Amino acid sequence: MEYTQLGRTGLKVSRLVLGTMNFGPVTDEADSHTIMDAALGAGVNLFDTANVYGWGENKGRTEEILGSWFAQGGDRREKVVLATKVYGNMAGDGVPWPNQDKLSALNIRRAVEGSLKRLGTDYIDLYQFHHIDRTTPWDEIWQAVDVLIQQGKILYAGSSNFAGWNIAQANEAARRRSSYGLVSEQCLYNLAERRAEMEVIPAAQAYGLGVIPWSPLHGGLLGGVIRKEREGGAKRGVSGRSADALKNAKQREQIQAYEDLVDKHGVQPGDVALGWLLTRPGVTGPIVGPRTTEQLDSALRAVELELSDELLASLDEIFPGPGPSPEAFAW
C-alpha cells in the first residue's frame, strides 16, 4: 500500500480510505469486522466514519461497530488513523430540541464525548465538520476545537462539503487565533463531477489541506453500470444517481463512451475511476465504502493500477474538467 502525508500534518495515511457508511445499515457487524481486518491487513490505515452513520433510529451504530472491532485488540486502534464527523442531529428523529446538531461549542462538546464512547477510544485523530454551519462564528468553533486538542481528545480538525471560500474563511479565522485550522477537506469529486477543481481543491492546496474525495464512482455510475444493466437486467446495480443519470441521453452516451474506452484498454471501469483520482493534484486518497470483501479487493487493485497518458487524455475528452480558475469563469 502506498502512503502519503495528510495535508500539512505529519500523519502518514494510505492512499485508499476505508469508508464505513455501510457498516450497520447494509453490512452486519461480523462482516464489517471482516472487511476492516482485510483492509488493515492490506495496509489501509485511514478509516472514515461519522456520528450519524447508522441513520434513523440507529444513528451512532456505525461508530459502535468500529468500537467493538477496536476492542478485539491486536493494536487495531493504534494502527488506524481514525476520522469521524460532527454536525448531524443526534436526537431522536422528529425531536425538535435545540443544540443537538451543527457546530456550536455545546454540540461539539456533546458530540465528541458521544463519539469517543461509541468508538471505545480516548482520542480521535481527525475530527471533521460534516457540513458548514452558517450560524456559528468561527471563533466559537475554534475555541471549542482548541480545548479538545488541549485535552487530548482530538488531534486535528477537517472539513467536509465546504466551498472554497468556507475553507479560506475557516483557516483565516484560525490563523488570527494562532489555531492550527483545517488540515483536510472531504468533497464530492470524481470523473463525472469535477466542479471541485474550480475552487475547492485550489483552496485546499493553498491552505495545505489534504483532499479526500467521496463518491469516487459517482453513486455507481462509473462502475460499469451500463454493462451491468445489459448483463443482469434493467434493475441490477441501477438505482439512485445512476438511474437518474442514465435517463439523460447525453449522460448515457458519455458513460457508454467511458465503458467502451476502458474495455479497449482492458481495465475495469471502477478501477479506472479510482485510479484517475489518485493522479489528481492535491488528492490524498478516495473514500471507498465496500459492502463486501470482494468490493474491497476491487478497490485495492485500483490503487496498483497505472493509467497511461493516452488513457488519461481520453478520459479528459469524455469528462472535460472546468479548467483552471479564474479562466474557467470566463465567457
237 close to 170: Cβ distance less than 8 angstroms: no
Name the nearest CA neighbour of 45 among 76, 81, 84, 1.
81
Residue 11 and residue 220: Cα distance in Å, rounded?
A: 30
Q: Assess whether the previous peptide bond of 326 is cis (omega < 30° from 0).
A: yes
Please tell me the predicted confidence (pLDDT) of residue 234.
44
pLDDT digits (tens, 9 = 90+) for 119-176: 999 999 999 999 999 999 999 999 999 999 999 999 999 999 999 999 999 999 999 9
Per-residue b or e along 152-190, where b marks 16 or more CB atoms closer than 10 Å to that residue's CB: ebbbbbbbbbbebebbbebbebbeeeebbbbbbbbbbbb
Residue 19 and residue 286: Cα distance in Å, rounded?
A: 9
50 close to 318: Cβ distance less than 8 angstroms: no
- Select which of 3, 53, 127, 258 is catalytic: 53
Could you confirm whether 53 is annotated as catalytic? Answer: yes
The tens-digit pLDDT sequence of the chain (331 residues) is 999 999 999 999 999 999 999 999 999 999 999 999 999 999 999 999 999 999 999 999 999 999 999 999 999 999 999 999 999 999 876 676 788 899 999 999 999 999 999 999 999 999 999 999 999 999 999 999 999 999 999 999 999 999 999 999 999 999 999 999 999 999 999 999 999 999 999 999 999 999 999 999 999 999 999 998 888 754 445 566 677 778 888 899 999 999 999 999 999 999 999 999 999 999 999 999 999 999 999 999 999 999 999 999 999 999 999 988 888 877 6
Phi-psi region of 18 (alpha: psi -120 to 50; beta: other; left: phi over 0): beta
The structure's pTM equals 0.95
**What's the distance, CA 277 to chain centroid?**
12
List the beta strands (DSSP E) in 150-265: 154-160, 182-188, 210-214
Cell of 56: 434513523
Cell of 328: 474557467
Domains for the chain: give ranges and CATH numbers.
3-219+269-313 (3.20.20.100)
Amino acid sitting at position 19 = G
HEC readout, 59-107: CCHHHHHHHHHHCCCCCHHHHCEEEEEECCCCCCCCCCCCCCCCCCHHH
Q: What is the mean pLDDT of the chain?
A: 94
pLDDT digits (tens, 9 = 90+) for 186-205: 999 999 999 999 999 999 99
Cell of 13: 495515511
Q: Which residues contact 240 (CB under 8 A, 6 or more apart)?
A: 219, 220
Output the DSSP codes for 260-297.
HHHHHTT--HHHHHHHHHHTSTTB---EE--SSHHHHH
